[in-house]
């Protein structure tokens, strides 16, 4: 089997959310990954946006690597259709393995778990633990409040402006996905293709 063109780690909700636009964007993201010969790395669940992005990636011919802790196999309903499904002991193991298998990171709408994972890879980036691109897909303005809060932290001098520059924020996956892949130094031809 040939290697994927790129490996994108997606953080997103194990619920679909209230707005149908969230599910629609998860489907678009998965289709984009699969159509370009990419690989999805994600939390291994089949519920909510997690399941939608995985199913769309598989349907479009992409590879899906799911990584889920034993304690969440039943709660998040582990997706048995993944190209690879890794059941690990702890959340730390899950997040480490997801980070190792990814060329770039992208957060879609989600809850506290998504926030924690996004902030962790952003923190790791600013500390120099990795230099992989980190993106935030701001569908329907979902992350407007979070970005306002982060800018407030800069204004209050708890953060520096350069830390904000470490993340790429956009509401359009057709712009953000190719930007992340290109920033990772992979599949530059994806840049000119729309979703």
- Domain borders along the chain are 7-186
- pLDDT band (50, 70, 90) for residue 187: low
What's the pLDDT tens digit per position in 75-132?
768 999 999 999 999 999 999 999 999 999 999 999 999 999 999 999 999 999 999 9
Query: H helices within the chain, ranges in order?
Result: 20-35, 48-59, 91-101, 112-127, 144-155, 161-164, 173-183
Q: What is the pLDDT of residue 186?
A: 81
**Regarding predicted confidence, which is higher, 153 or 1?**
153
Quote the pTM value.
0.93
| CA distances in angstroms from 176 to 28, 49, 141, 152, 191, listed in the order given | 12, 18, 15, 24, 9
Tell me: pLDDT of 173 over 90: yes
What's the pLDDT tens digit per position in 140-168?
999 999 999 999 999 999 999 999 999 99
Closest CA to 4 of 45, 86, 60: 60
Query: In the chain, what's the furthest Cα-to-Cα distance?
Result: 51
Q: 7-186 — its CATH code?
A: 3.40.50.450
**Regarding predicted confidence, which is higher, 192 or 189?**
189
Tell me: pLDDT of 37 over 80: yes
Closest CA to 106 of 10, 6, 179: 10
Using the 8-state DSSP alphabet, how is residue 181 labeled?
H
Tell me: pLDDT of 192 over 90: no
Query: What is the C-alpha to C-alpha distance for residues 42 and 50, in angstroms, rounded to an integer?
Result: 7
């Amino acid at each position: 089997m040939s290697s994927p063109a790129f490996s994108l780690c997606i953080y997103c909700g194990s619920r679909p959310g209230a707005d149908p636009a969230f599910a629609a964007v998860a489907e678009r993201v998965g289709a984009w990954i699969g159509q370009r010969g990419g690989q999805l790395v994600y939390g291994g669940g089949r519920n909510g946006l997690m399941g939608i992005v995985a199913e769309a990636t598989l349907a479009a011919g992409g590879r899906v690597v799911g990584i889920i802790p034993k304690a969440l196999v039943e709660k998040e309903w582990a997706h048995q259709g993944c190209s690879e499904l890794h059941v690990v002991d702890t959340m730390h193991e899950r997040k480490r393995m997801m980070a190792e298998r990814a060329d770039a990171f992208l957060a879609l709408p989600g809850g506290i778990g998504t926030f924690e994972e996004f902030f962790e890879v952003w923190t790791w980036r600013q500390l120099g633990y990795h230099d992989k691109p980190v993106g935030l897909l701001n569908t329907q303005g979902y992350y407007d409040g979070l970005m306002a809060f982060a800018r407030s932290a800069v204004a209050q001098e708890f953060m520096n402006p350069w830390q904000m520059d470490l993340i790429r924020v956009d509401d359009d996956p057709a712009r953000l996905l190719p930007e992340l892949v290109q920033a990772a130094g992979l599949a530059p031809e994806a840049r000119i293709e729309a979703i």
